[in-house]
Structure formats: C-alpha cells, structure tokens
Amino acid sequence: RKEVEQDPGPFNVPEGATVAFNCTYSNSASQSFFWYRQDCRKEPKLLMSVYSSGNEDGRFTAQLNRASQYISLLIRDSKLSDSATYLCVVNSYSGSARQLTFGSGTQLTVLP
C-alpha cells in the first residue's frame, strides 16, 4: 500500500461546479498535511495547509479526518484557472527526521 494515495483522475468538470478530492495516508503518526497545486511542467506551489479543525480559503476548503486517515480538498465555483494537478502531501517523522511524502496527484480540468 502506498504511504499517500490519491485518485489520479482526471476529473473533468464544467465551470462553476463543485469538485472534491480525497487523499488517504497510511502512517497514523503523521504530523501535518498540505495541498499543493502543480501546473503542467511547473513546480508545485503550496495551496493550503490542512488543520485538524478544517480550514477554508476563499473557494477552497480542506478537511482532515485523523480517525480514518484521510484529507480532502473541496473546490467550489470552479474556474478555468483551477485546471491543474493537486498534490496531497503528508509530513511525518521517520526516526528523528521529518519526511514529506507526496501523493501522485489528482488531475483537474475545468471545462468552459
């Protein structure tokens, strides 16, 4: 089982739709969680951190479920510019070292 798993998609949604991505992680001792956005052949950029109580940033809502070991990202009122790959990232300790593990990404295409 992969440490961090995501549905690869692709998700093709019309403009204005609401879309949700899930990500599961296997290490129950994981410390912190993030969503990164990556455009084609570009570097990933931090979209938002994921807090235990859930957090919202404009049209984006992130949630964490520690009991079930998954995080989610909800995008409301999708824009064409939201088309990208969304990477789930989990931060956990391996021995004394902090280690970030990336999911393989979920591809989103917002259609006009």
Using only the alpha carbons of the chain, give its radius of gyration.
14
Question: Measured from the CB of residue 77, what is the shortest distance to another protein in angstroms?
Answer: 26
70: contact with another protein by CB under 8 A: no
Residue 85 to residue 49: CA distance in whole angstroms: 16
49 lies in the site for another protein, by CB under 8 A? yes
Cβ proximity of 32 and 49 under 8 Å: yes
CB closer to another protein, 19 vs 90: 90
Tokens describing residue 89: 């990232």
Pick the binder of another protein from 21, 75, 83, 103 (CB under 8 A): 103
Interface with another protein, residue 44, by CB under 8 A: yes
Q: Interface with another protein by CB under 8 A: which range of 11-19, 38-46, 59-67, 71-79?
A: 38-46
Whole-angstrom CA distances from 91 to 29, 50, 75, 80 are 9, 11, 23, 30
- Quick one: 100 or 111, whose CB is closer to another protein? 100
Q: Which is nearer to another protein, 17 or 102 (CB)?
A: 102
Strands, sheet with 55-57, edge to edge from the N-terminal-most edge strand: 4-6, 19-25, 70-75, 60-65, 55-57
Residue ranges in contact with another protein by CB under 8 A: 4, 8, 32, 34, 41-46, 49, 87, 91, 97-100, 102-105
